[in-house]
């Protein structure tokens, strides 16, 4: 029960952990996306810048070619050689970018070249394989056309060629100016547009040739520059498919000239962020690729911070939770301890006993013994001295019990002034020694706040497995033994075979008692109560039970069982109804009137509808409540006095008489007697029995009579067996007499004869 919140606590922790971890993943993913987005926009910027720079560079060259052509070419296509040579030389010398220049006729025939070692008239541009297509294209284009790169053996340099057709109005193309750009100089421009990790490539469009690769220089990787890339390979290897997936294509990019940026996994399974942008003026593709790993490298720092923060936060949370958990555990342990221990003495309680008994029965090596320890007359101390002293004595008793018991035994407060002990001793001798020792310890005087008390103790002992195999069996056996011990006070008793037989008899009795009324086994006898002058005052109804199996059973024995098994209210009502019916019809027949005394047991009296049930019975008979005497015993006042007084007063209001039975054996105080609405005191027969032989008894009887008279009660002596007793009681001032001297309890018809 108390373990539940603890479990919830850790479930909460795991939920928090999972939520936190999911959050960590989401945040990390978002951070990755952010970096990716930033990288993309950087790339876009880079691509645009590259395009601008490239355009700018080629436009410069184009302008030079344009001016040069217009300057050197006549309208008929003729060239002033001397002039051209000087101009070429000047340009090449002043311009590092340009490695060579040439002017050709539209039919490809070279008119003049800057390199004087070349014999120009033998050259035809259309016949040089690497140049032919770009030259041809230049004839049809208004713009400068860039050709594929090649290695010029003559000048020992990689060259980027470009051609520009020179037109004159209404003459068309009169010649073509070609330039050999130093590839290295162009590379130096593009090189500044790459960032660490990113790679830039530039391609001619149709046919496709690479003219630039940021990482791979032509000297080392010539085939990358000299081999034509067919369109299919280009599409496949350069991300044509992902471009289309993202809603664009090489064709669209050619028209828009804007950069497109997509993620691309190469056929070799490498992940890249790539960009494509087209320069229509010069039919060039600008292409970047950045490995995704680079993005991850950038974001890794964030992730590290995330992970470390997460770890620390959860370390703290874990710590807090374990603190709470430890606290809860301690609390629940305390609660459990509280629930299983007695507040006053700190001893384990009944609940503890119930929980731990299994370990005695199954785990610890049986056999073992159970002791039922009950203080004698403890109620008196509580009643006379108040609960404060009672409590302090109980605490002291608990201490002594614990101190007297060896290690490995269990001492439990069973409630009130009852304690239970479990010990491993089994031999009668050892147990006797143990019991004697306990009695001796507990009977030693108690010094409580300067006052001295003595307390007796009765111990009943049962043994496992001899007297029972379950806790309740062992307890009830020890309890029975304890009651047996109680008779002699300050002593102990074992649950003997006689007691066992008694217990069996009790259980049979209880069983038989259930049907006693139905089987008509209950009968009532009446014992006359006489006045001083020998006339009949009344009768006391006394129940008799004769059972087929058990024979005659004394009411003293079976009334107790009827009370314990809850049968008493039913039996009590039966007796009252029967007695009232029988006596009222007898009185009617005999035309006389005398009182009828009914014994009311404690349980019966405390029953809720007791007075109502009595009134209901009265309605049926023809007797007046003033002729009914309700006999209650002193022991009744151990129970709640307020409630009892209320019931007594209600009965008085209804006209019933009340008699205090067995008076002198209990502990009613004078103060209490004054409060009670009673009419009669019945001196217990034990005093009458010894009246003539025991001075103390006589003194007691005298005192009762004096007190009773003072308070205005009538005094009845019961158990008067001979004339001497009667005479003495008479002298002492007793009013009424009951006993064998006058008559034993009589059957109804014998009572009728007795009345005469
Ligand atoms: P009690 O109320 O004190 O009843 C008086 C007992 O003394 C009766 O025993 C009676 O037979 C016995 N007795 C009468 N005269 C003499 C005598 O001269 N000498 C001796 N030694 N004894 C005498 P009984 O009938 O066995 O009843 C025992 C107890 O059982 C009663 O004590 C009463 O407490 C209880 N009891 C009997 N009948 C009823 C009943 O109907 N209802 C209740 N609740 N209890 C009853
Ligand atoms: Ca009685
Ligand atoms: Ca009595």
Confidence tier at 419 by pLDDT (50, 70, 90): very high
Tell me whether residue 427 is exposed, middle or buried, using C-beta atoms within 10 angstroms of its C-beta: 0 to 12, 13 to 18, 19 or more: exposed
**Binding site membership of 527 for ligand 1 (Cβ less than 6 Å):** yes
* Residue 482 and residue 517 share a domain: no
Is residue 313 assigned to a domain? Answer: yes
* Residue 537 and residue 478 share a domain: no
Nearest partner of 602 among 564, 575, 632, judged by Cα: 632
Indicate the average pLDDT of the chain: 91
Q: What pTM was estimated for this model as a whole?
A: 0.52
348 strand-pairing partners = 341
Among residues 304, 332, 360, which one ends one of the domains? 332
Q: Is residue 699 scored above 50 in pLDDT?
A: yes
CATH of the domain at 378: 3.30.70.270
**Binding site membership of 689 for ligand 1 (Cβ less than 6 Å):** no
Q: Is residue 4 scored above 50 in pLDDT?
A: no
Ligand closest to Cα of 741 equals 1
Distance 662 CA to ligand 3 centre (A): 4
Nearest CA to ligand 1 atom 15: 739
CA 266/CA 249 separation, integer angstroms: 17
Is residue 501 assigned to a domain? Answer: no
Among residues 284, 300, 332, which one ends one of the domains? 332
542 strand-pairing partners = 525
List, for residues 709-746, the tens digit of each pLDDT value: 999 999 999 999 999 999 999 999 999 999 999 999 99
Distance 394 CA to ligand 3 centre (A): 33
Nearest CA to ligand 1 atom 23: 719
* Residue 238 and residue 98 share a domain: yes
Nearest CA to ligand 1 atom 43: 599
Q: Which of 516, 523, 555, 745 to mutate to test the pocket of ligand 1 (most atoms within 8 A of CB)?
A: 555
Confidence tier at 756 by pLDDT (50, 70, 90): confident
Q: Is residue 5 scored above 60 in pLDDT?
A: no
List, for residues 147-177, the tens digit of each pLDDT value: 999 998 888 899 999 999 999 887 889 999 9
List, for residues 583-593, the tens digit of each pLDDT value: 999 999 999 99
Distance 628 CA to ligand 3 centre (A): 17
**Binding site membership of 552 for ligand 1 (Cβ less than 6 Å):** no
**Binding site membership of 114 for ligand 1 (Cβ less than 6 Å):** no
List, for residues 550-585, the tens digit of each pLDDT value: 999 999 999 999 998 999 999 999 999 999 999 999
List, for residues 332-345, the tens digit of each pLDDT value: 888 888 888 998 99
Q: Which of 718, 742, 743 to mutate to test the pocket of ligand 1 (most atoms within 8 A of CB)?
A: 718
Domain that holds residue 473: 350-495
Contact 245, 183 (CB under 8 A): no
Ligand closest to Cα of 556 equals 1
pLDDT of residue 514: 94
Is residue 154 assigned to a domain? Answer: yes
**H or E stretch covering 644:** helix 641-653
**Binding site membership of 662 for ligand 1 (Cβ less than 6 Å):** yes
Is residue 685 assigned to a domain? Answer: yes
pLDDT (mean) for 265-294: 92
* Residue 208 and residue 124 share a domain: yes
Nearest CA to ligand 1 atom 19: 719
pLDDT (mean) for 265-270: 85
Atom number in ligand 1 closest to CA 631: 2
**Binding site membership of 596 for ligand 1 (Cβ less than 6 Å):** no
Is residue 328 assigned to a domain? Answer: yes
pLDDT of residue 75: 81
- Cα angle at 535 between 529 and 538, to 5 degrees? 30
Counted domains in the chain: 3
Nearest CA to ligand 1 atom 28: 556
pLDDT of residue 672: 80
Is residue 343 assigned to a domain? Answer: no
Confidence tier at 364 by pLDDT (50, 70, 90): low
Q: Is residue 2 scored above 60 in pLDDT?
A: no
pLDDT of residue 638: 65
**Binding site membership of 722 for ligand 1 (Cβ less than 6 Å):** no
Among residues 470, 495, 520, which one ends one of the domains? 495
Q: Is residue 363 scored above 90 in pLDDT?
A: no
* Residue 375 and residue 313 share a domain: no
Confidence tier at 644 by pLDDT (50, 70, 90): confident
CA 296/CA 506 separation, integer angstroms: 89
**Binding site membership of 544 for ligand 1 (Cβ less than 6 Å):** no
* Residue 321 and residue 401 share a domain: no
List, for residues 518-534, the tens digit of each pLDDT value: 999 999 999 999 999 99
CATH of the domain at 568: 3.20.20.450
| 3-state per-residue secondary structure call for 599-610 | ECCHHHHHCCCH
**Binding site membership of 739 for ligand 1 (Cβ less than 6 Å):** yes
Atom number in ligand 1 closest to CA 741: 18
pLDDT (mean) for 274-284: 95
Atom number in ligand 1 closest to CA 575: 41
* Residue 155 and residue 198 share a domain: yes
pLDDT (mean) for 58-65: 94
Q: Is residue 637 scored above 80 in pLDDT?
A: no
Output 620 or 649, whichever has higher pLDDT: 649
CA 338/CA 346 separation, integer angstroms: 9
**Binding site membership of 542 for ligand 1 (Cβ less than 6 Å):** yes
Atom number in ligand 1 closest to CA 633: 34
Distance 683 CA to ligand 2 centre (A): 10
């Amino acid at each position: 029960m108390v373990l539940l919140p603890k479990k919830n606590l850790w479930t909460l922790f795991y939920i928090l952990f999972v939520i936190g971890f999911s959050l960590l993943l989401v945040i990390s993913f978002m951070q990755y996306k952010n970096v990716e987005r930033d990288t993309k926009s950087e790339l876009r910027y880079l691509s645009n810048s590259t395009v601008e720079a490239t355009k700018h560079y080629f436009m410069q060259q184009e302008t030079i070619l344009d001016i040069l052509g217009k300057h050197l070419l006549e309208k008929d296509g003729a060239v002033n050689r001397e002039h051209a040579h000087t101009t070429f030389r000047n340009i090449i010398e002043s311009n590092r970018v340009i490695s060579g220049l040439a002017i050709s006729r539209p039919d490809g025939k070279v008119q003049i070249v800057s390199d004087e070692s070349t014999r120009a008239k033998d050259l035809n541009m259309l016949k040089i394989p690497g140049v032919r297509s770009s030259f041809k294209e230049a004839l049809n284009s208004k713009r400068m056309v860039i050709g594929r790169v090649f290695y010029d053996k003559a000048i020992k340099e990689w060259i980027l060629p470009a051609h520009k057709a020179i037109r004159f109005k209404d003459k068309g193309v009169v010649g073509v100016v070609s330039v050999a750009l130093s590839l290295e100089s162009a590379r130096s421009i593009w090189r500044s547009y790459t960032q660490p990790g990113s790679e830039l490539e530039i391609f001619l469009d149709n046919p496709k040739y690479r003219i630039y690769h940021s990482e791979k220089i032509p000297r080392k990787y010539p085939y990358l520059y000299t081999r034509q890339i067919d369109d299919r390979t280009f599409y496949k290897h350069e991300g044509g498919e992902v471009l289309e997936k993202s809603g664009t294509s090489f064709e669209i990019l050619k028209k828009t000239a804007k950069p497109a940026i997509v993620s691309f996994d190469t056929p070799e399974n490498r992940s890249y962020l790539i960009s494509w942008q087209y320069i229509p003026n010069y039919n060039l593709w600008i292409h970047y690729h950045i490995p995704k790993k680079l993005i991850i490298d950038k974001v890794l720092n964030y992730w590290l911070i995330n992970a470390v923060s997460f770890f620390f936060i959860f370390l703290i949370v874990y710590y807090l939770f374990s603190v709470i958990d430890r606290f809860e555990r301690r609390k629940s342990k305390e609660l459990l301890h509280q629930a299983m221990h007695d507040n006053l003495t700190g001893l384990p309680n009944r609940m503890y006993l119930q929980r731990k008994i299994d370990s005695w029965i199954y785990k610890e090596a049986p056999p073992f013994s159970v002791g039922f320890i009950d203080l004698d007359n403890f109620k008196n101390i509580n009643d006379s001295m108040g609960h404060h002293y009672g409590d302090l004595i109980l605490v002291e008793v608990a201490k002594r019990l614990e101190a007297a018991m060896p290690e490995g035994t269990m001492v439990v407060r069973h409630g009130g002034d009852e304690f239970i002990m479990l010990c491993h001793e089994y031999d009668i001798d050892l147990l006797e020694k143990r019991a004697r020792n306990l009695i001796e310890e507990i009977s030693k005087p108690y010094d409580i706040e300067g006052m001295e008390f003595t307390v007796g103790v009765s111990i009943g002992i049962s043994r496992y497995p001899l007297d029972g195999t379950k806790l309740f069996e062992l307890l009830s056996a020890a309890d029975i033994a304890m009651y047996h011990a109680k008779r002699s006070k300050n002593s102990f008793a074992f649950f003997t075979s006689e007691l066992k037989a008694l217990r069996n008899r009790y259980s049979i009795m209880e069983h038989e008692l259930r049907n006693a009324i139905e089987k008509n086994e209950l009968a009532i006898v009446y014992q006359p109560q006489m006045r001083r002058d020998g006339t009949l005052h009344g009768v006391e109804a006394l129940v008799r039970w004769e059972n087929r199996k058990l024979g005659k059973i004394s009411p003293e024995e079976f009334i107790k069982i009827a009370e314990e098994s809850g049968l008493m209210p039913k039996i009590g009502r039966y007796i009252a109804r029967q007695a009232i019916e029988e006596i009222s019809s007898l009185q009617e027949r005999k035309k006389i009137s005398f009182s009828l005394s009914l014994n009311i047991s404690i349980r019966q009296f405390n029953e809720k509808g007791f007075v109502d049930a009595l009134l209901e019975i009265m309605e049926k008979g023809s007797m007046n409540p003033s002729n009914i005497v309700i006999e209650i015993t002193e022991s009744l006042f151990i129970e709640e006095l307020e409630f009892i007084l209320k019931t007594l007063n209600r009965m008085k209001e209804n006209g019933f008489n009340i008699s205090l039975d067995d008076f002198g054996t209990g502990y009613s105080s004078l103060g209490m007697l004054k409060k009670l609405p009673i009419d009669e005191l019945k001196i217990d027969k034990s005093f009458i029995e010894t009246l003539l032989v025991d001075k103390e008894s006589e003194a007691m009887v005298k005192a009762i009579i004096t007190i009773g008279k003072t308070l205005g009660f009538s005094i009845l002596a019961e158990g008067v067996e001979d004339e001497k007793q009667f005479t003495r009681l008479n002298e002492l001032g007793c009013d009424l007499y009951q006993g064998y001297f006058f008559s034993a309890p009589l059957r109804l018809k014998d009572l009728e004869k007795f009345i005469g």
